[in-house]
Structure 1
């Protein structure tokens, strides 16, 4: 039977690790599929292709191999060595408030750096937090030495710089309301990072996150691989928590991801979410799923409304540490992170939350998931909204 070969089949082939896609007689291939294949490096080949004949083993050889494996001299092949996670020489945190202080604590407990530098314009805050963390080492045994101060030159020589500094939201404020004031904070931090730590990977946590990551890219001049935004890890965690509570399971039973912007245009992806390995519909009604999506989108605002002054600190710190773990090799696989897209998902030149593989040099590769058309539309709307905010 003839097929209509669209871009989704080409993307599926890429997800399966194929570099060749076979076009059978009678197949109709769309122009979009051809463009997608050219963009992601899949070769379209007219078929049917000749398959190699299966290797047949005679009974005598098969029995000889079996008996050899049963002998005392046979040794199982050694598994490839698993490389230990590396430790950063220096981790710098621009902002020593709730998020920065929690990141420093978690990083010290995870033994991920020789030195952790905290920087904050509030007199004494960074130094006090660093001293407090050093006092705890007599109990925790953490090897990292912490130092703190107000001078941005302390980012010097850092492998990774996490920027959390900036004004937090108050009740009634959106993240977009912070663009003007926090852009100046990012510009100041970027100048210090560009001159003092020119090889560092930068993780932006300051809101509005996608816009501030864009500003960090512009102000440092760094390649997109070394300027990342922490958003999707936090938003995905909130989505998993909402689904777990609705279904009456633990969050460990839930796999779910959130893409798009870190704001009103957030795009939780229900089609790929699973509870105990099964689609959401097995456990939840469409109305409950929609409520969980809304809970993820408004999760940060719920914390702001309860605190009155300030925003979430603990969950963003854990989300930031998850990115640090991927960079240093303590975790593997794709993780949602804000990066500037260069054609992935059909979007160009916009910082947006997408699943990506990270490594010692920062971004390794953006992973393109199979999304529904509605979910793709949500990504496009998020990109358009970010462009509009930056333009204004």
Structure 2
């Protein structure tokens, strides 16, 4: 049976330094894989390609080599090692509640940094979480040392700052209802970040996420490359989960991305979504696809309604880790994040969730996907809605 060649195989080929990808009889290549290969300069070549003949060694020569390797003078060659993802010197978390604490735990377990600093205005919360994580290191063996406190000056020297501080949603609230109170939180954090960590990449998680990313950009004065919003990563995960559940497959079998705003104007991109490399319509009806779209848009609200107090913590933490993995080179390819657009998709001067390539300094470039007219229109509606909510 042939393989389903998706973007992950193309990205793996690039990471291995290949410029040719061999397609074997029966292979199915997704449209997204072809677009990715064309963009990064990998040629898709029909195979099987003729392989060089294996070197043949006579028995006497093989015996001499075997005996030599057993001798005292033979030294084993150094094992080849693959390039490792970069470790951060320091990660700072502004907010040590449910999301911040989970991000700290996941970052420590992934050996992402030498130091993880937690900051929270609640007396003792950040210090207690840091101490708890350090106590666990005797079991986990992680190298990162965690510190905690209430003073925002702890962000000094951080390469990445994840901002989760702010009021969480209550049942019946929309993310937009939090603009007033959480804008003040973002502005307070930004004042310190601007002076104490001017080179840091800031990942905003506080809701309403797109609007708070705009506020962080305004208050810090940072370039757009340095300020990212964690949104599309989480929304795309919810969309993939919904599609997998509806189709009766594993989430790993699903490729799907969600763009637009982290709210009612969210735009799950159904035209490019694939299940086992095939279009959604091969597995799902139109009503089922529409239900999955709705599930992605309302996913956060579903968690809020069940918890009564507070919002989702685990999935947003994993999404934040995914963004940091792209920053440090542990993952390759485009990832959906909220960034300030400068003409991409025909949109200027507003933060919106789009696929982006990230590196050590933050944003490298926005990738413009081939969207349907309806999906492109949805992005423009989301941009106007965000502008409207931020208008004085």
The answer, yes or no, to whether TM exceeds 0.5 is yes
Secondary structure of the equivalent of 1:198?
Answer: coil
Secondary structure of the equivalent of 2:271?
Answer: helix
Cα distance in 1 between the residues matched to 2:81 and 2:213: 36
**4+ runs deviating over 6 angstroms:** 12-15
The aligned length equals: 330
Q: Which residue of 1 aligns with 2:98?
A: 98
Cα distance in 1 between the residues matched to 2:159 and 2:356: 20
Q: Which residue of 2 aligns with 1:330?
A: 330
Q: How does 1:90-169 map to 2 (within 5 A)?
A: 90-169=90-169
Q: Which residue of 2 aligns with 1:371?
A: 371
Q: How does 1:23-62 map to 2 (within 5 A)?
A: none
Distance 1:222 1:66, change over 3 A: closer
Measured after TM superposition, the shift of residue 17 of structure 1 is 3.7
Measured after TM superposition, the shift of residue 262 of structure 1 is 0.2
> Is 1:314 matched with 2:321?
no
Give me the TM-score of the superposition, normalised by structure 1: 0.81
Secondary structure of the equivalent of 2:264?
Answer: coil
Q: Which residue of 1 aligns with 2:235?
A: 235
Measured after TM superposition, the shift of residue 16 of structure 1 is 2.8
Cα deviation, 1:1-56, whole Å, max 9, x if unaligned, reads: xxxxxxxxxxx99983499xxxxxxxxxxxxxxxxxxxxxxxxxxxxxxxxxxxxx
Distance 1:353 1:18, change over 3 A: closer
> Is 1:16 matched with 2:69?
no
Q: Which residue of 1 aligns with 2:61?
A: none
Measured after TM superposition, the shift of residue 360 of structure 1 is 0.5
Cα deviation, 1:260-311, whole Å, max 9, x if unaligned, reads: 0000000000110011111000000001000000000000000000001100
Cα distance in 1 between the residues matched to 2:35 and 2:91: 39
Cα distance in 2 between the residues matched to 1:390 and 1:334: 28
Cα distance in 2 between the residues matched to 1:66 and 1:239: 45
Q: Which runs of 5+ in 2 are unaligned?
A: 1-33, 42-49, 58-79
Measured after TM superposition, the shift of residue 216 of structure 1 is 0.3
Secondary structure of the equivalent of 2:228?
Answer: strand
Cα deviation, 1:35-86, whole Å, max 9, x if unaligned, reads: xxxxxxxxxxxxxxxxxxxxxxxxxxxx9x967x7466xxxxxxx9842101
Q: Which residue of 2 aligns with 1:200?
A: 200
> Is 1:386 matched with 2:386?
yes
Secondary structure of the equivalent of 2:311?
Answer: coil
Distance 1:317 1:66, change over 3 A: closer
Cα distance in 2 between the residues matched to 1:66 and 1:332: 31
> Is 1:339 matched with 2:373?
no
Q: How does 1:232-381 map to 2 (within 5 A)?
A: 232-381=232-381
Q: Which runs of 5+ in 1 are unaligned?
A: 1-11, 20-62, 73-79
Cα distance in 1 between the residues matched to 2:99 and 2:35: 41
Distance 1:15 1:349, change over 3 A: farther
| RMSD of aligned Cα (Å) | 2.0
Cα distance in 2 between the residues matched to 1:92 and 1:262: 23
Secondary structure of the equivalent of 1:356?
Answer: strand
Q: How does 1:153-232 map to 2 (within 5 A)?
A: 153-232=153-232
Distance 1:236 1:70, change over 3 A: same
Secondary structure of the equivalent of 1:271?
Answer: coil
Distance 1:66 1:357, change over 3 A: closer
Secondary structure of the equivalent of 1:332?
Answer: coil
Cα distance in 2 between the residues matched to 1:17 and 1:112: 29
Cα distance in 2 between the residues matched to 1:268 and 1:261: 10
Cα distance in 2 between the residues matched to 1:367 and 1:102: 30
Cα distance in 2 between the residues matched to 1:136 and 1:186: 31
Q: Which residue of 2 aligns with 1:87?
A: 87
Measured after TM superposition, the shift of residue 255 of structure 1 is 0.6
